[in-house]
Amino acid sequence: MTTPLVPDVSAGGLDHARRLPKVELHAPPRQVALMQTAEQLRLVTLDAFEQLRRDGVVYAELRFAPLFHTQRGLTPEQVVAAVDAAVAEGRTQTGVEVRLILCTLRHFTPEQALETAALAVRFAAMRDSAVVALDVAGDEANYPLAPSVPAFAYAADHGLALTAHAGEAAGPASVREVLAELRPTRLGHGVRSIEDPALVAQLARDRIHMEVCPTSNVQTNPSSASGKPASRSASAPTPAP
């Protein structure tokens, strides 16, 4: 049985979409369907640059899952090449500095995760590429981490920077698992770490940076003892860029 790259939300409707916050709320399937050619990827990337310029942003990191964009014949390598070229164009047009992070997803197979890691390693080795890191995102509450572990080991062996989503849709245990199994230097979200004071101390001690996104937290509605993990995390002694 083939694992679908973009989960079908038609049967479950919005409730299903909310259970997959990192994929569906950032890039719903209908939007993904419009990002399947090199020109479409170019236009979407340049539009992101223009939004960043208007907002006064001088540096940003854009992350995407290349395997999502192969539905109309592009290879994953062609997908990354198209976005990479668009980043170079957008940088020239706007002056905004952008780097790229390639994502594997929780529901990917080990082979799909490793393919993504190999792409990240290959492009990061190119002198003019904007690719700098590997990430794992997706539904951390309902899919295991294990399929991503070999991919992250491969990326680490090749000196690639690592970040990983955890501690938003799932609790502190997901953060501990990610730290132990993937060894990233940054966490996507991680706000529910605040439920475990010992974990907060570990994050501060090991200088693990947290990529906090309150808008996503509201969409995902992570539970916590206080009901406001993001605001509590902001006052905790953990690095947050």
Instruction: Name the residue with tokens 């709320």.
Output: 25
Q: Is 176 exposed, middle or buried (0-12, 13-18, 19+ CB in 10 A)?
A: middle
Which long-range contacts does 52-60 make (Cβ < 8 Å, 24+ apart)? 52/94, 52/96, 52/98, 53/94, 53/95, 53/96, 57/96, 58/95, 58/96, 58/97, 59/96, 59/97, 59/98, 60/96, 60/97, 60/98, 60/99
- Note if 168 is an active site residue: yes
Q: Which of 24, 115, 140, 168 is catalytic?
A: 168
Helix (H, G, I), strand (E, B) or coil at 65: coil
Instruction: Please name which of 150, 123, 9 lies closest in space to residue 64, comparing C-alpha atoms.
Output: 123
- CA quadruple 167, 205, 61, 109: dihedral sign: negative
Answer for the pair 222, 169: CB distance below 8 angstroms, yes or no: yes
Q: Which residues contact 157 (CB under 8 A, 6 or more apart)?
A: none
* Beta pairing, strands 131-137 & 161-166: parallel
Amino acid present at 240: A
Q: Any idea which residues carry the catalytic annotation?
A: 168
